[in-house]
Each structure stands twice: as structure tokens, then as C-alpha cells.
Amino acid sequence: MTEHSSNNRRSFLKKTSGLLAALGIGLDATARPVAPDRTPDSKAAIPPYKVIDNPLVLFDNFHVGNRRGYSWKAKFAAARNAGFDGYELVTVAPGSDQWKEAMDLMPAANFRVWGMHWTTRAVVDSNFPDIDRDIEQIEELVEACAATPIEYITLSLSGNGELRGPNIHESGSAKAEDRHWERAYKIIGAFDRACARHQIRGSLYPHTHWICDTPQSQAKILEGANATTIGPAFCSHHWYANRNSVELDEALDLPMMEKLNYVVLTNGRFNGDNFPAVRFDLGEIDMAWMLAKIYEFGYSGPISTQGWGIGGDPYLNCKAFVDGITALKRRFKTQPELWPLRE
């Protein structure tokens, strides 16, 4: 068993960590009301509010790569028939042919939630000269999305370059210097103001190897950007894969999580410097425990899933997510003795 695998991600104890202090993040937080007492051996073990009907959203990377491609019509049909409530476009530039085609098909697709993921590489040195252009593109994207059914945008700060280390936990924020943080503040500050101006829900997306790769680095960037509108995203696989990430209870207690507005539940198998995505029910992350923690927190926004590099039939792969969530909800409701967080 590897060192990473032996790290018990299901711990219910909050671990004291020096990581927040090292990043200059305060630990002051408003206390969350204590959850009602649970009686493990009774049907009252799970109050009805613990199981939340979050809209399920398909992130647009199940049907790409692996030497094949799908049309928007085919992708939307797959998501709809698999049982998804929404669809998230990925780096589709406003005004492009792909944008125009997707916009034309939106009414017939009949999803109740639409999102967009965007990224900029301007944090790393090689792309820094493009930072002002990238910010302008982000502002244009927010304005364009506000005129469509798209209601949320997730933004990642991509790019490796000098931030790439020998493994996941020695990369990204672990190697970032002042100039990288200042660039991140500038980009996210502009994104926050644009979202406020156009009343779009925005979130800062974490990703291994990049500057925003842990809950602590998310909090540092949102604070440094003086963000008042956007919130953090939580991504199960990126959190789990990075040993520098504080444990989940500690992450969810960070003040920024009061604005948590986007969650990704993706599974994978991890080997130190990589984390190939796998079907929702096949990876090493305990998704029953993870979903229970999200419910306990009270999150009611969209839950997305990703399928980059899984291969095979994308319809079966994405449907496994909907089927998995549905089965877990049924279990939690009808078999309260199997509630993962019972005391």
C-alpha cells in the first residue's frame, strides 16, 4: 500500500495543520449550528433534510478524446437520457461556431441548469504577457453568458511551467511565489467584479499541479482578490489527490465555504503524480461517505461529474454517475443504519 493510499480520507477528526498559517490565511470562522442529534439505531437516524435533490450536471469531457468526437446533439441527448438535469460547456468561446451551435440547440435540450467552465494560463511566467488579454476574454465571457441560459461559470487558473514539481503535493501552490499569487489575485478580482456586474454565479475551480490546488490556496486567492461575489468550487478528485489538502471537515469549515456554489464528484485511482478518472463506482474515493458529507454540510447547488480519459462508451460512463447518486440517495432514505456518518 502506498503512503497516499494509507492516508485515511474518512477521518472524522479535524487535524491541526500549519498549512493555513503558512499561506497567511486566518482561522477565524463563524461557527455553524450544530447538527441535530442522530439516533443511529432508529429510523430518525437521517432527518429528511439530509438527502438533497441537487441538480446533476454533466461536464463536457466524457465525449472527447480517445480518437473520437460527438456532436452537440449527440452529447445533449446522452446527458438527457442518462438522467442529468444540466450540462456544463467547457472553454467554448463566445461567437465561435461551437458557441453558436450550442446556443441554437439549448431550447430543445431542455436542461434546467446550464454552466460554463473556463480557464486562463496567465499565472505562469510563459503566459504572463497575455494576462490583460485573458482578463478581457473572461469579462467578455461573463457578459456573453449572462445573455444566455448559462447561470454559472467555473474558472480555473491553469498552467504548469515553473509550478510543476516532482509530484502532486510538491507542485502548484507549493511552488508558487509572490508574483504568481499577485497574478491570481488580479485575474480572480476581475472575474469577481464581472460576475457581480452581470449577476452570474461564479466559482474558483481547484486543480492539482496548478496554483489553486487545495482548499487553502483557494482561500488565499479569494481573500487576496477581495472577492465578494464568487465562491469556491469543491472537486473530490483534486482534493483527494493532493496530500497538502486539509481534511474535508476542516475544508468545509473555512469561511469561504459559506459561498460554496459548485461541487464535482469524480472518482479516480491515484498513483502519486497522476489520477486517472474512472467511473463513479469504480475508484478509490468512498463516494457514499463523500456524498453524505456534502449533504451534512447542507449544500443544495449543482453537482457535476467529469470523465476525461475514461474511454469506452461515454453514455454508460456518465449514466453510472446518475445511477450511483440515485442508488445512494435511496440507500440513505430506506436504510438509515447504513448512513456513513452515523455515530
Grid-cell match 467511473, residue found: 279
Residue 37 has pLDDT above 80, yes or no: no
Summarised one tens digit per residue, pLDDT across range 227-244 is: 999 999 999 999 999 999
pLDDT at residue number 6: 39
pLDDT at residue number 277: 86
pLDDT at residue number 49: 52
Report the distance separating Cα 318 and Cα 222, nearest Å: 32
Which residues pair with residue 87 across a beta bridge?
58, 114
Residue 298 has pLDDT above 90, yes or no: yes
Q: Is the whole model's pTM more than 0.75, yes or no?
A: yes
Return the C-alpha torsion angle 143, 148, 153, 158, nearest 10.
-70
pLDDT at residue number 290: 97
> Cell digits for 60?
463536457
Report the distance separating Cα 304 and Cα 59, nearest Å: 6
pLDDT at residue number 273: 78
Which residues pair with residue 155 across a beta bridge?
118, 204
Report the distance separating Cα 331 and Cα 287, nearest Å: 13
> Cell digits for 216?
487553502
SS3 for 128?
helix
- Select from 234, 289, 227 the least CA-distant residue to 257: 234
Residue 27 has pLDDT above 60, yes or no: no
pLDDT at residue number 18: 38
Q: What is the DSSP letter of 158?
A: -
Confidence of residue 47 (pLDDT cuts 50, 70, 90): low
Burial class (CB in 10 A: 0-12, 13-18, 19+), 212: buried
Residue 43 has pLDDT above 50, yes or no: no
Confidence of residue 206 (pLDDT cuts 50, 70, 90): very high
Residue 44 has pLDDT above 80, yes or no: no
Sorted by where each begins, the domain ranges of the chain are 52-338
Which residues pair with residue 267 across a beta bridge?
278
Q: What is the mean pLDDT of the chain?
A: 87
Lowest mean pLDDT among 87-96, 242-251, 275-284, 332-341: 275-284
Burial class (CB in 10 A: 0-12, 13-18, 19+), 106: middle
Report the distance separating Cα 195 and Cα 228, nearest Å: 10
Count of alpha carbons within 13 angstroms of residue 107, beta-carbon side: 2
pLDDT at residue number 131: 98
CB atoms within 10 A of CB 25: 21
Confidence of residue 48 (pLDDT cuts 50, 70, 90): low
Lowest mean pLDDT among 19-23, 81-85, 178-182: 19-23
The domain 52-338 belongs to what CATH superfamily?
A: Divalent-metal-dependent TIM barrel enzymes (3.20.20.150)
pLDDT at residue number 46: 52
pLDDT at residue number 171: 95
SS3 for 235?
strand
Rg (CA), the chain: 20
pLDDT at residue number 66: 79
On whether the CB atoms of residues 116 and 155 are closer than 8 A, the answer is no
Residues 173-192, mean pLDDT to the nearest whole number: 98
> Cell digits for 82?
442518462
The fraction of the chain above a pLDDT of 70, given in percent, is: 85
Report the distance separating Cα 189 and Cα 4, nearest Å: 34
Residue 22 has pLDDT above 70, yes or no: no
Residue 209 has pLDDT above 50, yes or no: yes
Lowest mean pLDDT among 40-54, 190-204, 210-224, 248-262: 40-54
Q: When comparing pLDDT for 1 and 179, which is higher?
A: 179
Report the distance separating Cα 124 and Cα 129, nearest Å: 10
> What angle, rounded to 10 degrees, do the helices at 215-224 and 178-198 form?
70
Report the distance separating Cα 44 and Cα 55, nearest Å: 25
pLDDT at residue number 307: 84
Which residues pair with residue 117 across a beta bridge?
90, 154
Summarised one tens digit per residue, pLDDT across range 303-326 is: 999 888 788 899 999 999 999 999
Residues in the chain: 343
CB atoms within 10 A of CB 80: 16
Residues 155-168, mean pLDDT to the nearest whole number: 95
- Select from 212, 213, 159 the least CA-distant residue to 185: 212
Q: When comparing pLDDT for 310 and 198, which is higher?
A: 198
On whether the CB atoms of residues 215 and 252 are closer than 8 A, the answer is no
Residues 6+ apart with CB under 8 A from 52: 295, 298, 299, 300
Residue 1 has pLDDT above 70, yes or no: no
Confidence of residue 11 (pLDDT cuts 50, 70, 90): very low
